[in-house]
Amino acid sequence: MISRNARIAWPLLAPAAVLLVVFTFYPTVATLIDALHSTPRGRRPAEWVGGGHFATMANDPIFRQAFVNNLIYAAVIIPASMGLALAMALLVNARIGGRALVRLAFFTPTILPMIAVANIWMFFYAPDYGLIDQVLGLVGLGGNNLLGMPGTALWALIVITVWKLAGFFMIFYLAALQQIPPALLEAATLEGAGPAQRLRRVILPLLMPTTLFILINAVIEAFRLVDHVIALTRGGPNNSTQLLLHYIYQVAFSYWDTGYAAALSVVLLGVLALIALIQFGVLDKRIHYR
């Protein structure tokens, strides 16, 4: 006998459940199945290959490079964009002149689509006459081909990503800063705490729930944001800016090797799931929610 609650609950849950199944669970399961089969091509249907794709991956130098690049990319972007976001939020939360204008300026990169951003930066980075190379030229360091050399191309993309993300994360920090009751800060001041102590002992702990939220978003973005790779370098020169998601896109939609692309997706999914587990498992316990 179905209870009255269940009879009402199921129809209410159905819309969300249908969307989750169709757009999240079914694609995940289908990807897992595809990852264990060869790519069907014209006259050759898909065959069971088991772990074959994963064996290929272990010996695929481009995959290895994409993985390492992505780790560097994430390891720099996450702390840099979050640190910058916090600094900008503290700045525009203080009483400074032209506060609205500064806030807008910091937030502008977020409003622009990544492809437009990339096309602007392509000319910033242009050797010799590009803005950045001209500035470097003033101090005698000109003549750089920042996007065209393997040593600098990934860092050039990292700068764009940090610039793009920091403004977005700033908004969350700013909102959180304004939620902090002034009484707490006043009390700290009365107790004799200086600005550094107020930041470390009062503000940062109260920002921790926001920090976790931003951290999770930053991790996702570090693996998700590859639009500028497509627009600027397409993974070059010599795969020095190859990132996991861009490689998956290339394998799936340029090479049409859907089986291998599914296997790569499974690895990316695994990496992200692992990071999320660590974040929720370890960090969540240390955060004080009001």
Partner 1 sequence: MTPISLTRTLLGSAAISLAVLSPALAQTEITFFYPVQVGGPLTEVVDGYVAEFEAQNPDITVEAIYSGSYTDTTTRALTAARSGTPPTVAVMLATDIFTLIDAGVIAPLDEHITTPEDQAWLDGFMPAYLASARLDGHVWGAPFQRSTAVMYYNKEAYAAAGLDPETPPATWDEMVAHGRALTLRDASGTVTQWGLGIPGSSNAAHWLFGALVAQNGGQLSSEDGLHTFFDSPEVIGALEYWVSLGAEHGIHPPGVLEWGTTPSDFMEGRLAMAWTTTGNLGNIRANAPFDFGVAAYPGNPDPASVLGGGNLYLFADASDEEKAAAFRFIKHMTSDDLLADWGIQTGYVAPRDGSWDTQALQDYVAEVPQADVARRQIAVSVPEISTYEGQRVNEVLNAAIQAALTGQQSPADALTAAQAEAERILAVYRD
CB of 269 to partner 1, least distance (A): 22
Half-sphere exposure of 163 (CA within 13 A, CB side): 17
110/152 with CB nearer partner 1: 152
128/186 with CB nearer partner 1: 128
49 closest CA partner among 61, 34, 64, 38: 38
CB of 152 to partner 1, least distance (A): 9
Residue reference for tokens 């920002």: 207
Residue reference for tokens 């587990």: 277
Neighbours of 211 (CB within 10 A): 21
Taking the chain, what is the end-to-end CA distance rounded to the nearest angstrom?
Answer: 42
106/247 with CB nearer partner 1: 247
CB of 70 to partner 1, least distance (A): 18
CB of 66 to partner 1, least distance (A): 12
Alpha-carbon distance of 273 to 225, in angstroms, equals: 17
Alpha-carbon distance of 223 to 23, in angstroms, equals: 20
145/279 with CB nearer partner 1: 145
CB of 79 to partner 1, least distance (A): 29
224/234 with CB nearer partner 1: 234
Name the site residues for partner 1 (rule: CB under 8 A).
41-43, 62, 122-123, 126-129, 137, 140, 142-143, 145, 147-150, 233-239, 250, 253-257
